[in-house]
Amino acid sequence: PAFSEESEWRLISYFIKQGDDECDFRTTPDRIIPYRVFDIPPKETGPISEVILGPKNITPVDVIELFLKKCGFPGVKVTRSEATYR
């Protein structure tokens, strides 16, 4: 119930194992992760109205706000979740 506030959306995209699929890659300390870039065109009201940072997210709120603004989503409300994992 604590996470119902998130109203989370996720895009799922399947990769073709033969390797002929278009994707980019990012690395973490222990793996390589394929991903796709999806353009989300800004609308008059914007597709993103609020971002709630999870309990373990360490990114400062102002950094998220600047990132959203740079990506074409100014004025998005960014808050920290009141939920905990315990």
CA dist 71 and 14 (Å) reads 25
DSSP class per residue in 50-83:
EEEE-TT--S-HHHHHHHHHHTT-TT-EEEE-S-
pTM of the model: 0.52
pLDDT in single tens digits along all 86 residues of the chain? 666 766 677 777 776 666 666 788 999 999 998 888 877 766 666 678 889 898 889 999 999 999 999 988 888 999 998 877 66
Q: Write out the two tokens for 37.
A: 């870039």
CA dist 48 and 66 (Å) reads 14
